[in-house]
A = this chain, B = another copy of it.
Amino acid sequence: MTAACRAEHIAVGSEILLGQIANGHAQTISRAFALHGFFLFHHTAVGDNFERIVKVFEVAARRSNVVVVTGGLGPTDDDLTKEALAAFLGRPSELSPEALRQLESWFAARGRKMPEQNRKQAYRIAGGELLPNPNGTAPGVYVCANGVHYFLLPGPPLEMEPMLQHEVIPRLKQIFGGGQVLVSRVIHFCGIGESDVDAAIKDLTGMANPTVAPLAGEGEMLLRITAAADHEEGARALIQPVEDEILRRFGSYVYGFDDETIASAVGKALRQAGATLAVAESCTGGLVSSMITAVPGASDYMLGGVTAYHNQAKVAWLGVREETLARFGAVSEQTALEMAQGVRERFAATYGLATTGIAGPGGGSPQKPVGLVFGAVVGPDGRQTVVRMQWRGSREQVRLRSAKRVLWELLKLVSPRAEAFPGAQSRA
């Protein structure tokens, strides 16, 4: 086995430093590296400036032995990544006749002549090689110098991602062999505060392998367990007892694992129960429906929904009583409940769900401030839940947190769970 991978990702592009686009590649590459057990210790972003790119290579070469660069391989004068690396390494660039032919046929296949400026994409750094890019004109570059492996990849995600999978990862496996695998397990919680969880896992967060770290989510919280081992099974065997212990302590607040969302967990529970759902939304305005239908196969259990933004729609479409609106107001426990009952009956669904509230920034009053939201869930056999939430935060946060919380209430009604952690207050 050779030395361990100490990787760094460098994103090149002024638009990243101006905040005009997010540096999404950093996350994509980090995920892929973690999945395959390659340690990645730094992200860097730098603008389209020759000298600063060269300096960033200097820093990277001192601390990393794998440098993956995205962006700056296009045909324009602003695309400087390959030129800067050649200058930093002190190596000339050479035209690859084969790459030039491929470029010309790429354009020919699209009925166009190759513009002269694209010619520079067919150059490789001496001693290195070009990496095929089936989805665009910019080939990648691989070159190893002074023990550092450089991979230059194009910026567009649909070009970069296949090259990462098919060119970079396989070469790293060849170079570093079966290194240590890093496996993570993420546990998703709803209805419990971060500090309540934190306080009750002090004995777990101090461990070295696996590590346990709390992550803050929007309207939920997450715990990440990460283990390093020679093989994936070994890492999972380290994770399992810790996961079991966390479930023993907080199992009743856990809705899912890894990439699961509260909406996919609700979908799984409804499918298992052979149940269906209809949704009535006021302040969330379609967000709950949209989250549910974002899950593939949602048509198996999602019958539909009504966005009843106006009182008139609540009465006409959902059968909310005028008397209820007059006496308690549209933002009330009673209205939420009648909305959920109404949408359940009218769609003939097993479960009805409803939200009504004041998402802000306007529309609040001293009695009913911005952020006050009621959620209701109505099921068979008279089972029902109403939850009162009082959020602080932006309109977006109020909507998202309310949507997640009412889906969590639905999940509990569909698959009831014991209160395994009675010490923690369920809090909005």
Give chain B residues whose Cβ lies under 8 Å from the Cβ of A290: 284-287, 289-290
User: Interface 1/0s, chain A 15-31, versus B by CB < 8 A?
Assistant: 11111111110111111
Do residues A306 and B307 form an inter-chain contact, with CB atoms below 8 A? yes
**A91 on the B face (CB < 8 A):** no
Q: How far is the CB of A375 from chain B (nearest CB, A)?
A: 16
Do residues B43 and A296 form an inter-chain contact, with CB atoms below 8 A? no
Do residues B20 and A23 form an inter-chain contact, with CB atoms below 8 A? no
**A299 on the B face (CB < 8 A):** yes
The residue of chain B having its C-beta at the shortest distance from the C-beta of A30 within the complex is B19
The residue of chain B having its C-beta at the shortest distance from the C-beta of A55 within the complex is B63
Interface size class of A (residues with CB under 8 A): 35 or more
In chain A between 361 and 405, which residues have their CB closer than 8 angstroms to a CB of chain B?
361-363, 393, 395-397, 399
In chain A between 287 and 324, which residues have their CB closer than 8 angstroms to a CB of chain B?
287-294, 296-299, 302-310, 312-313, 317
Q: Report how far A24 CA is from B216 CA in the complex, Å.
A: 13
Q: Report how far A399 CA is from B155 CA in the complex, Å.
A: 22
Complex copy number for this chain: 2
The residue of chain B having its C-beta at the shortest distance from the C-beta of A403 within the complex is B290
**A76 on the B face (CB < 8 A):** yes
**A47 on the B face (CB < 8 A):** yes
User: Interface 1/0s, chain A 42-63, versus B by CB < 8 A?
Assistant: 1111110100100110010001
Pull 8 A–B residue pairs with CB atoms less than 8 Å apart, ordered by A: A23-B27, A42-B44, A42-B45, A286-B287, A286-B288, A299-B309, A303-B309, A306-B306
Binding site for B on A (CB under 8 A): 11, 14-24, 26-34, 40-47, 49, 52, 55-56, 59, 63, 76-78, 115, 155-156, 158, 182, 184, 186, 198-199, 205-206, 213, 215-216, 224, 226, 279, 281, 284-294, 296-299, 302-310, 312-313, 317, 347, 360-363, 393, 395-397, 399
